[in-house]
Structure 1
């Protein structure tokens, strides 16, 4: 399946716990001032990749703990990201995703394709990067307004459950 990418980073240690393959999707509507991935904003930028090649890279690296969907805005390519997430789950890897959207807005919108993607995600870091709340002391977030959400528990309880650090 095609996916528009900015890039793929193997062996990342900053986009979630453990060693991860991070998929940077191309295209982002948020335009957060101070964003460190400005090159990912243009929806016509980057390049067309293949989700099966990403899944092959996941399968070939026995050191990986998981995959991270980042961006750009991965929720804007829900079918391709779901394909990657589902494949990662089949490999017994955990799946993290970063979004500039808020959890409440995602759920309220009720887009079936995005909700199906969420079902494949373990942890979602939500919210736009905000320069005035930037902190280098945060684990896996860029600004204090962002939340690290346990997706499975949040979907089950129908309210936001934040991630606890002992997650593997």
Structure 2
């Protein structure tokens, strides 16, 4: 898996102060996407064990971890994202994980990684459906609380 960037003090991608990782690789290519530079899964930098550990360490003083992209549930990202979520949950059982995906929940509900995710924002971005709902880019997207 590759990633484009991460934010170490994010107030926009979920509740509280968060560490947010933007992975690369997105099969949806939504017109008007805010992050088209993340579509190519080979773009960005390799997500190494060292990067993963740095992110996990940064989460110690934050409310949670947010995963965006690209699409964290792109087939090429699922294994590394799953491992990150598993390690986060083991280290921080009282903190939460938010994940944005262009897939509908019904399409990915059986993925093992979702057992670690607290909040899923699902659905492709549709610029013709603007919204004022928090944490969503378009009105079709759903905020689904999977845990707690």
TM beyond 0.5: yes
For structure 2, the residue ranges without an aligned partner over 5 or more in a row are none
Residue 87 (structure 1) shift:
1.7
Residue deviations 1:118-139 (CA, integer Å, cap 9, x gap): 111111000001111122x221
Residue deviations 1:70-113 (CA, integer Å, cap 9, x gap): 11010121110011111221232211100000011223xx4xxx
| Residue aligning to 1:133 | 129
Paired residues in the alignment total: 144
Task: Tell me the C-alpha RMSD between the 2 structures.
Answer: 1.6
Partners of 1:61 and 1:44 lie apart in 2 by 26
| Residue aligning to 1:78 | 78
Work out which structure has the larger RCO, using CA pairs closer than 8 Å and 6 or more positions apart in sequence. Answer: 2
Using a 3 Å threshold, how does the CA distance of structure 1 residues 62 and 100 change in structure 2: closer, same or farther? same
TM-score by length of 1: 0.79
| Residue aligning to 2:103 | 101
Instruction: Point out the structure with max Rg over C-alpha.
Output: 1
Asked if the contact 2:8–2:58 (Cα under 8 Å) also holds between the matched residues in 1, the reply is: no
Q: Which has the higher helix share?
A: 1
Runs (4+) off by over 3 Å? none
TM-score by length of 2: 0.89
| Residue aligning to 2:146 | 151
Residue deviations 1:44-73 (CA, integer Å, cap 9, x gap): 211112144333333245431100111101
